[in-house]
A and B are shown apart, each in its own frame.
Chain A
Amino acid sequence: MSETRGLTLAEKVWNDHLVVKGEDGAPDLLYIDLHLVHEVTSPQAFDGLRQAGRPVRRPDLTIATEDHNTPTLGINKPIADLTSRTQIDTLRGNAKEFGVRLHSLGDVEQGIVHVVGPQLGLTMPGITVVCGDSHTSTHGAFGAMAFGIGTSEVEHVLATQTLPLKAFKTMAITVEGALRPGVTAKDIILAVIAKIGTGGGQGYVLEYRGSAIRSLSMEGRMTVCNMSIEAGARAGMVAPDQITYDYLEGRPHAPAGADWDDAVAYWNTLQTDDDAVFDAEVFLDADTLEPFVTWGTNPGQGVSLSENVPDPSTIIDANDRANAERALEYMALTANTPMKEIAVDAVFMGSCTNSRIEDLRAFASVIKGQKKADNVRVMVVPGSARVRIEAEAEGIDKIVEEFGAEWRFAGCSMCLGMNPDQLAPGERCASTSNRNFEGRQGKGGRTHLVSPLVAAATAIRGTLSSPWDLEQAPELATTDELATTAPKAV
Chain B
Amino acid sequence: MSNDRRFVLKGLAAAGLLAAMPWAQANTSAAAALADAAVADAAARVTPLVSGGALDAAFLAGVRKAMGQPTGALVNPPLQGLEAATYQQLNQLLNDDTPTLLVGLLDDAAAILVLDLVRSAGGRVLSVEQHRIGQGSAGQQWAGALGQALVAGAGAAVAAGRGQENGNAYVALRCVI
Is the pairing of A and B real? no
A-to-B contact residues, CB < 8 Å: none
Q: Using a CB–CB distance below 8 Å, which chain B residues touch chain A?
A: none
